[in-house]
Chain A
Amino acid sequence: MNGLPPSLNRIVTELSRFPGIGKKTAQRLAFHLLDTSRESVEELAEALLSLKANVRECRRCHHIAEGELCAICSDTRRDSATICVVERVLDVLIFERMGEYKGLYHVLGGVISPLDGITPDDLHISDLIERLADVKEMIIATHPSMEGDTTALFIAQQVQGLPLKITRLARGIPMGTNLEFTNEATLASAFTARVDL
């Protein structure tokens, strides 16, 4: 019993389900909605409903799309001979922000995580393999963790023998960091993957 009317309590409960939103923030947001005009709230409600109604998974790469194919797969200017394999949809957004990459993507929907019971069958690996016929380079961009490495190795093993170049993102000391503040795991990784000058 917090003295709030049931409608307000309901919206606080719903908002606090969002990641990173606690009870207090949810209350702040709810009060902000109360102070907002009816039109704005209706617009927000409509945007939420439209999100659920229209946004789906791209049939080809499993990124988010508003039609059968996502904006990246539909873009004929993208280099279809290169595929970047990522764990999640959010990773695509990170690469797109970088602006350097002009190829296509494939979203796996997670990584192999034996301790969580997630095996290759739970990921979009078989349809990745089906897409590789005309691909010249596959960049595996899973996260630098034991799970990410296992997933990368598994994919590389599955496509062995196909005429394509397989690369993995480099790893090591972040730009602008002093060696003194680099932890042992990162330093060991950078040392193992050192490059010729």
Chain B
Amino acid sequence: MSAPHTSQAVVLRTIEYSDTSLIVRLFTETYGKVTVMARGARRPKHALHGVLSVPHRLAVDYRHKDGRDIQTLVGVELADSYAALAGDLARSAAAWLLVEMLDRAVQVADPLPLLFRLITASLEQLNTTSGDFTTVVHFYQLHLARQLGYAPQLEKCPRCGRQVQTAVLDHLGGDLVCVRCLPSGSLRLGRAALSYLRDLAATHISELDSLHPASGVRREVDQFLLKYLFIHVDGMDKLRSLKFWRQVRK
């Protein structure tokens, strides 16, 4: 028996299945990551033509059958196309990166409504902010790690319990520890970078424009967050969109 499922969703990936159909990977608010078949969606005059695109936010309606890897899409309404992203190269590169990170971080059919809020709020902020949008990417990466249960300790060293002034990433344990506990560590975060990370942890996404990290701090945090996610999340070190993101930022 198949059951009707309805949810808000973000398009993570589309794969051309035939001349007329698409396989679409969605991150739904209610059911987590789901793959659906959209029959006829590639026909030029089909109602779904152009709607099923990364990273559109949709209201979806699909038939779910237990044991099936691919469900059947029944209906879609476009909630937000994040139209401004298409007009800005760096922002669209950031959107690709955010979406791919989510796709690699979450498992199939594992509902994570807080992560859904994180991705939609981050895409919305990328789409609308007039400020430095790399803070949105950093905010997203830090909170993604937190939601997955890998929040870095930004105040006290998890080894000795002392207040952290300069932190070092322990590549083996994956923790952020104080420099006294790991003097040989290569990836260091200075006071300003730690302070920026604390601000990112405490600031609401709509207030990110108030953060103005220096370019050196941005670079330190950039390197740290990516490495941190590489260590903790399986497959994150294989991000395909990272190369383009880096190329565009140059």
Binding site for B on A (CB under 8 A): 20, 112, 114-117, 119-120, 144-146, 149-150, 153-154, 157, 174, 177, 181, 183-186, 188-189, 192
Residues of A within 8 A of B89 (CB): 150, 153-154, 157
Residues of A within 8 A of B54 (CB): 115, 146
Would you list which residues of chain B between 233 and 247 have a CB under 8 Å from chain A?
240-241, 243-245, 247
Instruction: Give the Cβ gap from B87 to chain A, nearest Cβ, in Å.
Output: 7
Contact present for B243 and A181 (CB under 8 Å) = no
Would you list which residues of chain B between 31 and 45 have a CB under 8 Å from chain A?
44-45
Residues of B within 8 A of A20 (CB): 19
Residues of B within 8 A of A174 (CB): 44-45
Question: Could you tell me the distance between the alpha carbons of A112 and B81 in the complex, rounded to whole angstroms?
Answer: 19
Instruction: Give the Cβ gap from B86 to chain A, nearest Cβ, in Å.
Output: 4
With A146-B53, A183-B49 known as contacts, the answer to whether A114 contacts B78 (CB < 8 A) is: no
List the one stretch of B93-101, B149-157, B161-169 in contact with chain A. Answer: B93-101
Residues of A within 8 A of B88 (CB): 153
Would you list which residues of chain B between 68 and 96 have a CB under 8 Å from chain A?
77-78, 81, 83, 85-89, 92-93, 96
Question: Could you tell me the distance between the alpha carbons of A154 and B100 in the complex, rounded to whole angstroms?
Answer: 20
Contact present for A177 and B45 (CB under 8 Å) = yes
Instruction: Give the Cβ gap from B137 to chain A, nearest Cβ, in Å.
Output: 14
Can you report 7 residue pairs joining A to B where beta carbons are below 8 Å apart?
A112-B244, A120-B247, A149-B87, A149-B92, A153-B87, A183-B50, A183-B78
Instruction: Give the Cβ gap from A91 to chain B, nearest Cβ, in Å.
Output: 15
Residues of B within 8 A of A117 (CB): 240-241, 243
State whether the Cβ of B226 lies closer than 8 Å to any Cβ in chain A: no
Of A114, A120, A145, which one neighbours B100 at CB under 8 angstroms? Answer: A114
| B-side interface size class | 35 or more
Instruction: Give the Cβ gap from B121 to chain A, nearest Cβ, in Å.
Output: 20
Residues of B within 8 A of A157 (CB): 89
Most chain A beta-carbon contacts within 10 A, residue among B50, B78, B240: B50
Of B53, B96, B97, B241, which one neighbours A185 at CB under 8 angstroms? Answer: B53
Residues of A within 8 A of B188 (CB): none
Instruction: Give the Cβ gap from A63 to chain B, nearest Cβ, in Å.
Output: 23
Of B19, B92, B100, B240, which one neighbours A153 at CB under 8 angstroms? Answer: B92
State whether the Cβ of B211 lies closer than 8 Å to any Cβ in chain A: no
With A145-B53, A153-B87, A184-B51 known as contacts, the answer to whether A114 contacts B245 (CB < 8 A) is: yes
Contact present for B240 and A115 (CB under 8 Å) = yes
With A114-B96, A157-B89, A184-B78 known as contacts, the answer to whether A119 contacts B244 (CB < 8 A) is: yes
Instruction: Give the Cβ gap from A92 to chain B, nearest Cβ, in Å.
Output: 19
Would you list which residues of chain B between 45 and 71 have a CB under 8 Å from chain A?
45, 47-51, 53-56
Contact present for A115 and B13 (CB under 8 Å) = yes
Residues of B within 8 A of A153 (CB): 87-89, 92
Question: Could you tell me the distance between the alpha carbons of A52 and B93 in the complex, rounded to whole angstroms?
Answer: 38
Residues of A within 8 A of B48 (CB): 183
Residues of A within 8 A of B50 (CB): 144-145, 183, 185-186, 189
Instruction: Give the Cβ gap from B119 to chain A, nearest Cβ, in Å.
Output: 15
Of B56, B85, B241, which one neighbours A115 at CB under 8 angstroms? Answer: B241
Residues of B within 8 A of A154 (CB): 89, 248
Contact present for B86 and A146 (CB under 8 Å) = yes
Question: Could you tell me the distance between the alpha carbons of A192 and B81 in the complex, rounded to whole angstroms?
Answer: 12
Of B92, B243, B248, which one neighbours A146 at CB under 8 angstroms? Answer: B92
Most chain B beta-carbon contacts within 10 A, residue among A116, A150, A186: A150
Instruction: Give the Cβ gap from A169 to chain B, nearest Cβ, in Å.
Output: 14
Closest to B244 in A: A114
